[in-house]
Amino acid sequence: MVELSAEELRARLPEAVRVYVTAMGYPSWATQQRIPVWSAHMSRAGWRCVAAFNERDELSGVGYGYSGDAGQWWHEQVRRGMQERLPPERIEEWLEDYFELTELHVHPDAQGHGLGEHILRTLLAAAPGANVLLSTPEGPTRAWQLYRRLGFTDVLRDYRFAGDPRPFAVLGRPLPLER
């Protein structure tokens, strides 16, 4: 388990995005679509990345995030959803100062052994912000179990992001995580 700099992740970006594509069950062509997105995220304020490697130095899990801010695509999508469902003071409580947990993925061959939790705890241990927010597809998954166990609560449920017909949940919790 190591924290990666932007340069270190960039050197392994195709491998990291393949972990994401495999874990999410996306088609392999999605790898080339996501590489530029992940690369752009690396320049955002507060960006942090944690990765786990197996004994053959292959990436088995990766997580990253950054300080969320107005004008970012995800921030604006979530704000729009919150405006439809939450009072203004609740919106500001969540969006005023948060770390966006953008990606957290463990290769299916490495799932079920606590690696995702370890990556998440390491990533959030020094994350900036008063809160952490994330989005995840709706449904019973190991990710849901992890987030609930660590105290994440519902911010938005059954939300649809522009360009994706699947329902998502936006979950959040105050920082820091307790040990």
CATH of the domain at 129: 3.40.630.30
pLDDT score for 4: 98
Q: If the chain, 179 residues long, is cut into consecutive pieces of 10 residues, what is the mean pLDDT of each piece?
A: 97 97 93 96 98 97 98 97 96 97 97 96 97 95 94 97 92 93
Catalytic residue among 64, 66, 147, 159: 147
Residue 58 in contact with residue 14, Cβ under 8 Å? Answer: no
pLDDT score for 178: 86
Residue 138 in contact with residue 158, Cβ under 8 Å? Answer: yes
Q: Show the domain range for 72.
A: 2-174
3-state secondary structure the chain: CEECCHHHHHHCHHHHHHHHHHHHCCCCCHHHHHHHHHHHHCCCCCCEEEEEECCCCCEEEEEEEEECCCCCHHHHHHHHHHHHHCCHHHHHHHHCCEEEEEEEEECHHHCCCCHHHHHHHHHHHCCCCCEEEEEEECCCCHHHHHHHHCCCEEEEEEECCCCCCCCEEEEEEECCCCC
pLDDT score for 164: 86
* Residue 20 domain-assigned (yes or no): yes
* Residue 67 domain-assigned (yes or no): yes
* Residue 45 domain-assigned (yes or no): yes
What total of structural domains would you count in the chain?
Answer: 1
* Residue 179 domain-assigned (yes or no): no
pLDDT score for 179: 76
Cis check: omega of the bond before 176, within 30 degrees of 0: yes
147 labelled catalytic: yes
pLDDT score for 12: 97
CA angle 132, 135, 139 (to 5 degrees): 130
* Residue 144 domain-assigned (yes or no): yes
* Residue 164 domain-assigned (yes or no): yes
pLDDT score for 81: 96
